Amino acid sequence: MAYVFPPAAQPSVAVNGSDKRFPVRRIFCVGQNYAAHVLEMGGDISKPPVFFSKPGDAVVKNGSSIPYPLSTSDLHYEAELVVAIGKAGVNIAEADAASHIWGYGVGIDLTRRDLQYAAREIGMPWDMAKGFDRSAPCGDLHAVADTGILDAGHIRLSVNGEVRQQSDISDMIWSVPAIISKLSDFQALAAGDLIYTGTPSGVGQIVAGDRIDVEIQGLSGLSVTIT
């Protein structure tokens, strides 16, 4: 097939213990999925979590240096469990959701918070606040065959060695199976999709020179630096 210019490279994420890589198709994210974070953001915990998306090529590998994003003066970190989808499905029953999981990883949902607040004030979408270049750092993925189903385990984020976020993935409002099931009611999921499952409380600002480290029990850590 001939193209008018060379197509972009396939976005991908490293796989723990393998020279193979996980090809990324799309990135879906869950907002407001930990009650304490909903409250710190002035939200209503009686309302269900929300979905938004990032482009597949927003992924950034572990150990990367990330240029401070354009058009913001209030960049925030959000530590998240990432779920990698390995089997397509639509209208997936919650009881069947686990069979669609390829594996798990550690992620950061970088957010231009000032743009998010401005959009929220006028009822506009979050796209420019969330779906920008290099906004989805992701550590090495671990196959579910190696980890088993992850439904509990500490999640912790540090900035320059200082712990800023600390919780347990069991504290999510929607569990991973519930997320997969509900998302598949809106969108046919496909192998290669990544789902960032929401962040605990303690989100905050980062600036050029900051190093962000995230760990989730049982998974490889993730570290990036803002330049």
Rounded to an integer, what distance in angstroms lies between the CA atom of residue 223 and that of residue 156? 12
Rounded to an integer, what distance in angstroms lies between the CA atom of residue 227 and that of residue 183? 34
How buried is residue 53: exposed, middle or buried, by Cβ count under 10 Å (0-12/13-18/19+)?
A: middle
pLDDT number for residue 40 = 79
pLDDT number for residue 193 = 98
Mean pLDDT (the chain, rounded): 96
Task: Please report, rounded to a whole number, the percentage of residues in the chain having pLDDT higher than 70.
Answer: 100
Check: CB of residue 81 under 8 Å from CB of residue 178: no
CA distances from 166 to 52, 162, 173, 175 (A): 23, 11, 16, 18
pLDDT at 46 over 80: no
Only one residue has tokens 């991973």, namely: 176
Rounded to an integer, what distance in angstroms lies between the CA atom of residue 9 and that of residue 172? 34
Quick one: tokens of 71?
Answer: 């058009």
List CB contacts of 195: < 8 A, sequence separation 6 or more. 27, 28, 29, 30, 82, 83, 85, 176, 179, 180, 183
pLDDT at 223 over 80: yes
* Confidence label for 38 from pLDDT (cuts 50, 70 and 90): confident
pLDDT number for residue 178 = 96
pLDDT number for residue 70 = 98
CATH superfamily of this structure's domain 12-226: Fumarylacetoacetase-like, C-terminal domain (3.90.850.10)
pLDDT at 39 over 90: no
Mean predicted confidence (pLDDT) in 63-71: 98
pLDDT number for residue 1 = 86
pLDDT number for residue 49 = 78
pLDDT number for residue 210 = 98
Which sequence spans correspond to the domains of the chain?
12-226
DSSP letter (8 states) at residue 99: G
pLDDT tens profile 79-127? 999 999 999 999 999 999 999 999 999 999 999 999 999 998 999 998 9
* Confidence label for 135 from pLDDT (cuts 50, 70 and 90): very high
* Confidence label for 146 from pLDDT (cuts 50, 70 and 90): very high
Check: CB of residue 168 under 8 Å from CB of residue 153: yes
Q: Is the pTM of this model over 0.85?
A: yes
Q: How far is CA 222 from the centre of its chain?
A: 12
Concatenated DSSP letters of 183-221: HHHHS-B-TT-EEE----S--EEE-TT-EEEEEETTS--
